[in-house]
Amino acid sequence: MEHRLALLVTGASGMALPRAALAAMARSPEVERIHLVVSRGASQVLQHELSRSTGAPDLIEAANLTEAERAKIAVHRDNELDAPISSGSYRLTGTAVIPCSAGTLGALATGSAGTLIHRAGAVALKEQWPFVLGFRETPLTTIHLENLRRLAYLRAVILPPVPAFYVGGEDFNRFLDHYVLRVLDHLGIHEPGEDGLRWS
């Protein structure tokens, strides 16, 4: 099966997460197309977090992709409300919001659809295709918990980037690799991963 995915990047801290997710999606032979949307807030966080460490001006550059991998990516602006992913008539096989900010979480939970990210999330919910939320906030307030409950009830997969200490080692990239494998699993993409990142 060839997958068409949406990767929606919002303005929470943790831009290493979508960088790793984008790289894994683009590398996978199962993925045909990736629709990438980076919010204005995410662009600002990206400049702060990734540009300093990698020198790359954007997420695609930071992901260090080949030309063939880059060719899989369609980039959309967050105000591009006529993009194909704003409608359920354009079939995706999965959508992921990584990282998912508290503001985006609230918009999704209340059905707000003023941006492409919000609309693409609303489409994923109504079409009931795999929808992963990498919510990046702590501590959690009652508002966060209620919004998470509502979205879980609508069959979204709440997958916060919590370190899996059982993978062992002190390399931060092992945590990233493990987290991305979990995301891909929930999107129906089964990458083998390196030894020790899976139970079997």
Q: Is residue 70 part of a domain?
A: yes
**What is the C-alpha to C-alpha distance for residues 87 and 90, in angstroms, rounded to an integer?**
6
For the ranges 121-125, 176-180, 191-195, the lowest mean pLDDT is seen at 191-195
On whether residue 197 sits in a domain, the answer given is no
Task: Tell me how long the chain is.
Answer: 200
71 inside domain: yes
pLDDT tens-digit series, residues 145-171: 999 999 999 999 999 999 888 777 778
Considering the domain boundaries, does residue 167 fall inside one? Answer: yes
Structural domains counted in the chain: 1
Please, what is the average pLDDT of the chain? 93
Does any domain span residue 198?
no
Q: Is residue 200 over pLDDT 60? A: no
Check pLDDT > 90 for residue 52: no
Assess if residue 60 is contained within a domain: yes
The percentage of the chain sitting over the pLDDT mark of 90, rounded to a whole number, equals 82
Per-residue pLDDT averaged across 42-66, rounded?
A: 88
Is 192 part of any domain? no
What is the separation of C-alpha 77 from the centre of its chain, rounded to a whole number of angstroms? 16
Kindly tell me if the per-residue pLDDT of 194 is higher than 80: no
HSE-CB for 97 with a 13 A CA cutoff: 30
The CATH number covering residue 13 comes to 3.40.50.1950
pLDDT score recorded for residue 54: 77
Please tell me the predicted confidence (pLDDT) of residue 145: 98
| Residue 101 lies inside a defined structural domain of this protein | yes
State the residue range of the domain holding 113.
3-186
**Dist. CA 140–CA 199, nearest whole Å:** 29
C-alpha torsion sign, points 138, 183, 87, 99? positive
3-state SS string over the chain?
Answer: CCEEEEEEECCCCCCHHHHHHHHHHHHCCCEEEEEEEECHHHHHHHHHHHHHHHCCCCHHHHCCCCHHHHCCEEEECCCCCCCHHHCCCCCCCEEEEEEECHHHHHHHHHCCCCCHHHHHHHHHHHHCCCEEEEECCCCCCHHHHHHHHHHHHCCCEECCCCCCHHHCCCCHHHHHHHHHHHHHHHCCCCCCCCCCCCCC
